[in-house]
Structure 1
């Protein structure tokens, strides 16, 4: 059952009034709290408050809080900015939300700061249900809502651990008078995540299969469990070398994804672009959870406007991402047998690469994408760009902050890719081998999705199925990554470009070295442009000494006003600057975010100790 998330006034916000410096906790000591917990509907209203925090979609108005093609979600190895690239923090901030002393990676994507308000809120819900509603709710109702509360608690702890590693664990609401609990130090990561495991298992057993069209159900729960269990399994394997704990969470990822797959409710039946360009995803079998926007209710966003080809952008895809797209024979571009596989002109890439390439980018090089000449159009319907053929400007609903296209918060494709990656990881730990039927159910179902008629007209064809017997052997593959896992990681990169996934994936795989711009110049390079034939209008005096391309042999050509015929190569503006070193620096841990020194000092002033994040100094040096 799909879930629509509508922005509504939630009664539960009455309990979100006062916050402390430690837990930022909502007050639940009011008269309203004493009389509130008297019906299932009241519990539902309270729980609704979680939705817009955890399932943000495209955000609201100009407040882009979702995973979208702006500077925040280019912070990985997929994107380039016409500027100095986003930096990892190299110093400890002063306060928990500060980025003034250097960008913390956790500020680059939707994720929690050192704030436990949502833990407090979920614990308050669980405590009230257990302590006050035994005679109000039936056993089934009680277990369902305990499952909902435990799911959101587990989800928030998984997110906090994702950012900070060890975090203080609270199983119940913390009272203002309980200073030892308020100011407790961090709980070891494994202990926290074992609690999360238990919360997720309970939710998978007790949350209803169907609780109505707008509400959490077991399949939504299972989908998110598959995401965060896969993350934790990977972290345990690659960072801690704890294969027992890794296997535990990989097994949970498979179990939860299995629940969704075996339900038979979901399929890959929609062309890729339509998943992001529709105003109504009701009935879409590819989507498990979505956020709906409605101009009549004033619930709109601005993300489609970033893809309207009418607004110049400093951000865009880099050559490293372009090269990652698989050819239509299922091989990488260096080993592919597809004709012209090494021709990087956009018209050829559209014909020779996986269909997700054409669905994600505009079909011609354009100076509107100032960093790379390749413009992201993934998050706007094809029809919205028809104005480019006739002239004029985009329709009003695709300008500014008036967009109403829906956001697929959780897609079935993600569940399939979580499932198959977890199974492949289990194989590396001595578990059952992945078989061809597993690949057919997951990767090949995704590769076989419908292709839009507009794409077919440009020469787009389906990608060949993945075959275990003839798996691609990419010469670029890391020696420590088996070929199957390498190709599954490629599938994620193509599927989720500019969405939620890439920076989290790099971290859990312990592969942030992929973001080292000194080691990989393709991170700063754009798409192939034949200026004399594709962008002749740019070869003007005003662009003398400004336009630059990198030829196939790696040499640079700068437009000098007389060499127009030589301006053929990968666009590489001089303004694209690399990021500072961030690996192997003492007291800098790019994989986890530090907490502010003010929090540590506050604890100390009250006689308690708060330990700094692993790999960071307790004070600024």
Structure 2
């Protein structure tokens, strides 16, 4: 099922862009009046407003919240030219804080303290239930109720992911119901049990096929495989509740298998094509695909962040570079490939998994100011042809004129969700993962086609993963079993600079991986030979600025006389570590605080709103 975005329901969108209360007050829009709900087309029109909220794609124009390569750079994959982005260390005054140290809690991981989309879903469910039993057929009634419950569950899964306990509403709350409007948090387990039930209903009742632009059961199942896996991991690693973890891991497996057993999807496109195509409508790789159309003024700006024409302050760090598996299926420290410890980009392209070449530019460049390695994952190779011929990027790859589409839900994600959930269940007493499980998941992904342009650079397909010969990675976190470590590596390579890395670190309770004091590779870029690849940078104005680190950890800073020594990992002096964020009193980097204004508002009206676990209330 592919998602084609139109400019729809502009009035609805405006209704939900400025949300200042716990729940938005009932609007005057006719879509919430009883007279509106007269046929299935009206229900579909109402439901369409959810799409751009939950299936963002590359965003719209310069609006890039939740879009890849714009917001998903706060994790252990990216290094920023300057001091690294900080975790929030103070409670904000408002739920809508956008200060730099709070960005990770809103744009990077999920919604702010806002229940507008919950209310909208509840209105939909309420109107169908109370006004349409005699209007809709039984099949229509079940389908649209399932769609409403699906969207409600998605929003609550996101809210719980960010805040933990949140007030739960399963009905429309009226403006006069102060107790409802100002209820305190509902325990996370109660919220997520309701999410589980909503997901189960949607999996059983949403249509297998509702047309090429709409949510169907496979879209539901793919999203359930994601969010059930996320919740299960939170329960296992953060809350230490294995019983609840098993419940959600089981749901993730069942949902993924619904997609896998359909026979509708496969791994058929080369990696780069998935992100640089203008139309993947018929691709088996995509369960949900957002298409852009300049003729309808529906464009984005993410390809422009990959056009190699514009400098960028954020790039891949050495920790990510080292994480890429070698083509013999081993980590770089135990691989038997020749010259595997040669980190020049030309050699990395030949010796690392094909996703490395597909994600980054093939030569070091000062336009990637923090690391000299430029992300080009989200632009087609043809979009960079101007570099050899001279000139500028084509107009469609500049500013907000981009029309490349985004695979919102990929089959590869479902496979990785499935194998991770299976491996986690095995640690909880479930059936052990088999080689056939690996073959239909990770090895299927590794067998994806390699683009002809990549082959010309020496890129080859990575060897299959073998359970009886897993890499003995000396860098492996000793608290993580070898199989889970390698599954997590696959996920890291597959989704670099997309949606999941910071969420993955949080649900695994592994934010320690972002501690720059413990891991200096987080601040370092790619290998650069300034005497060869970027010799033009060895100029007087860069004296004291350019710095490289040799493999033995020694530094060389360019002084105008030592050009011959300027060969090593790029490590600009401007790249500075982040402040401590773990085990800091009154700071919980795993869950977000809510604003003191919201707590005060409750108090002024005679109610109590509890602050997020691990954060101080901030008011008397």
TM-score (norm 1): 0.98
Map 1:5-24 onto structure 2 (within 5 A): 5-9=5-9, 21-24=21-24
Partner of 1:491: 490
Residue 184 of structure 1 deviates from its aligned partner by: 0.5
1:500-530 alpha-carbon deviations (Å, 9 max, x no partner):
0100000000000000011110000000001
Q: Distance in 1 between matches of 2:488 and 2:26?
A: 40
Residue 490 of structure 1 deviates from its aligned partner by: 0.2
Q: Distance in 1 between matches of 2:368 and 2:248?
A: 41
Partner of 2:351: 352
Partner of 1:298: 297
Partner of 1:66: 66
Partner of 1:606: 605
Matched, 1:218 2:217: yes
Structure 1 residues 433 and 201, CA gap change in structure 2 (3 angstroms): same
8 Å Cα contact 2:334-2:473 kept in structure 1: yes
Partner of 1:309: 308
Match of 2:289, SS state, is strand
Partner of 2:57: 57
Cα RMSD of the aligned pairs, angstroms, is 1.5
Partner of 1:258: 257
Match of 2:69, SS state, is coil
Q: Distance in 2 between matches of 1:545 and 1:31?
A: 63
Partner of 1:107: 106
1:58-104 alpha-carbon deviations (Å, 9 max, x no partner):
1111111233223x321000001101111100000001011448325
Structure 1 residues 362 and 17, CA gap change in structure 2 (3 angstroms): closer
Partner of 1:538: 537
Match of 1:73, SS state, is coil
Residue 31 of structure 1 deviates from its aligned partner by: 9.0
The alignment covers a number of residue pairs equal to 620
Partner of 2:618: 619
Matched, 1:120 2:135: no
1:513-557 alpha-carbon deviations (Å, 9 max, x no partner):
000011110000000001101111111111111110011100110
1:99-122 alpha-carbon deviations (Å, 9 max, x no partner):
448325223415210000000000
Q: Distance in 2 between matches of 1:353 and 1:228?
A: 30
Q: Distance in 2 between matches of 1:119 and 1:520?
A: 40
Map 1:284-433 onto structure 2 (within 5 A): 284-433=283-432
Structure 1 residues 17 and 249, CA gap change in structure 2 (3 angstroms): closer
Partner of 1:44: 44
Q: Distance in 1 between matches of 2:11 and 2:305?
A: 34
Q: Distance in 2 between matches of 1:371 and 1:430?
A: 45
Q: Distance in 2 between matches of 1:559 and 1:15?
A: 56
Matched, 1:459 2:458: yes
8 Å Cα contact 2:265-2:411 kept in structure 1: yes
Q: Distance in 1 between matches of 2:310 and 2:15?
A: 42
Match of 2:594, SS state, is coil
Q: Distance in 1 between matches of 2:17 and 2:319?
A: 47
Matched, 1:518 2:517: yes
8 Å Cα contact 2:228-2:252 kept in structure 1: yes
Q: Distance in 1 between matches of 2:99 and 2:512?
A: 24
Residue 21 of structure 1 deviates from its aligned partner by: 1.6
Q: Distance in 1 between matches of 2:14 and 2:313?
A: 42
8 Å Cα contact 1:6-1:291 kept in structure 2: no
Partner of 1:186: 185
Matched, 1:271 2:270: yes
* Runs (5+) with no aligned partner, structure 1: none
Match of 2:33, SS state, is helix
8 Å Cα contact 2:30-2:36 kept in structure 1: no
8 Å Cα contact 2:65-2:107 kept in structure 1: no
* Runs (5+) with no aligned partner, structure 2: none
Q: Distance in 2 between matches of 1:354 and 1:364?
A: 17
Residue 158 of structure 1 deviates from its aligned partner by: 0.1
TM-score (norm 2): 0.98
Residue 6 of structure 1 deviates from its aligned partner by: 2.6
Structure 1 residues 10 and 105, CA gap change in structure 2 (3 angstroms): closer
Q: Distance in 2 between matches of 1:42 and 1:80?
A: 47
1:231-279 alpha-carbon deviations (Å, 9 max, x no partner):
0000000011111100000000000000000000000000000000000
Partner of 1:165: 164
Match of 1:371, SS state, is coil
Q: Distance in 1 between matches of 2:534 and 2:63?
A: 34
Partner of 1:4: 4
Q: Distance in 1 between matches of 2:403 and 2:128?
A: 37
Q: Distance in 1 between matches of 2:432 and 2:453?
A: 39
8 Å Cα contact 1:15-1:33 kept in structure 2: no
Residue 594 of structure 1 deviates from its aligned partner by: 0.1
1:296-348 alpha-carbon deviations (Å, 9 max, x no partner):
01111111011111111111000000000000011101001111111100000
Partner of 1:555: 554
Q: Distance in 2 between matches of 1:383 and 1:389?
A: 11
Residue 388 of structure 1 deviates from its aligned partner by: 1.0
8 Å Cα contact 1:528-1:568 kept in structure 2: yes
Partner of 2:470: 471
Residue 30 of structure 1 deviates from its aligned partner by: 5.7
Moved over 4 A (4+): 10-20, 28-32
Q: Distance in 2 between matches of 1:323 and 1:108?
A: 28
Q: Distance in 1 between matches of 2:202 and 2:460?
A: 41
8 Å Cα contact 1:237-1:246 kept in structure 2: yes
Q: Distance in 2 between matches of 1:186 and 1:43?
A: 31
8 Å Cα contact 1:2-1:213 kept in structure 2: yes
1:127-147 alpha-carbon deviations (Å, 9 max, x no partner):
111111111001110000000
8 Å Cα contact 1:11-1:46 kept in structure 2: no
Q: Distance in 2 between matches of 1:15 and 1:133?
A: 24
Structure 1 residues 564 and 192, CA gap change in structure 2 (3 angstroms): same
1:30-80 alpha-carbon deviations (Å, 9 max, x no partner):
69612101101100000000001111111111111233223x321000001
Match of 2:79, SS state, is strand
8 Å Cα contact 2:528-2:568 kept in structure 1: yes
Q: Distance in 1 between matches of 2:391 and 2:141?
A: 57
Residue 9 of structure 1 deviates from its aligned partner by: 3.2
Residue 20 of structure 1 deviates from its aligned partner by: 5.8
Q: Distance in 2 between matches of 1:19 and 1:521?
A: 41
